[in-house]
Amino acid sequence: MIIMKKTVLTKSGWNFQPLFFMFELHKKDLMPQSFSQKELNYLQDTDFLLTKHQINEKLMQLLEQTRQEIKQELAQLDFNFPAEIDIQNGKISKGEQYRQLPYWVLDYPRKYTQNDIFAFRTMIWWGHEISCTLILAEESWEKHHPIVLHNLLKQPQEDWYIGVNNTPWEYHFEEDNYQKLTDFESVNLTAELNKRRFFKISHQLDLNRLTELPSFALNTFQKALEILKAVEPL
Q: What is the DSSP letter of 86?
A: B
Q: Show Cβ contacts of residue 78 under 8 Å, excluding neighbours closer than 6 positions.
A: none
CA–CA dist 61, 33 (Å, integer): 39
Q: Answer yes or no: is 233 within a domain.
A: no
Based on DSSP, count helices (H) and strands (E) in the chain, helices before strands. 5, 11
User: Reduced to 3 states, what is the DSSP secondary structure of residue 59?
Assistant: helix
Does any domain span residue 57? Answer: no
The count of structural domains within the chain is 1
State yes or no: pLDDT of 156 exceeds 80.
no
Q: For residue range 61-101, list pLDDT tens digits in order.
A: 999 999 999 999 999 999 999 999 999 999 999 999 999 99
pLDDT digits (tens, 9 = 90+) for 87-137: 999 999 999 999 999 999 999 999 999 999 999 999 999 999 999 999 999
Stated pTM of the model: 0.85
Cβ contact 213:66 at 8 Å: yes
Which band of pLDDT confidence, cut at 50, 70 and 90, is reported for residue 222?
A: very high
Summarised one tens digit per residue, pLDDT across range 41-56 is 999 999 999 999 999 9
| Cross-strand bridge partners of residue 207 | none
Q: What is the mean pLDDT of the chain?
A: 88
Average pLDDT (210-219) is: 97
Least confident of 36-40, 111-115, 230-234: 230-234
Q: Which pLDDT score, from 0 to 100, does residue 3 have?
A: 45
| Domain assignment of residue 121, yes or no | yes
Whole-number CA gyration radius for the chain: 20
Q: Residue 20 pLDDT > 50, yes or no?
A: no
What kind and span of H or E run contains 29? none
- Measured in degrees and rounded to the nearest 5, phi and psi for residue 68 equal -65, -40
Residue 145 lies in a domain: yes
Query: Has residue 202 got a pLDDT over 90?
Result: yes
Centre a 10 Å sphere on the Cβ of residue 112 and count the other Cβ atoms it contains.
17
Residue 214: inside a domain, yes or no?
yes
pLDDT at 1 over 80: no
Which backbone phi and psi does 115 adopt, to 5 degrees?
-105, -5
On whether residue 105 sits in a domain, the answer given is yes
Please indicate, yes or no, if residue 109 is contained in any of the structural domains. Answer: yes
pLDDT at 173 over 90: yes
Model pLDDT, residue 96? 96
CA distances from 232 to 46, 150, 229 (A): 59, 10, 9
Domain assignment present for 4: no
pLDDT confidence of 4, banded at 50, 70, 90?
Answer: very low
DSSP per residue over 143-183, as a string? Answer: HHHHHHHHHHHHSPPTTEEEE-SS-TT----STTTEEEGGG
pLDDT at residue 73 in the model: 97
| Structural domain span for residue 168 | 64-227
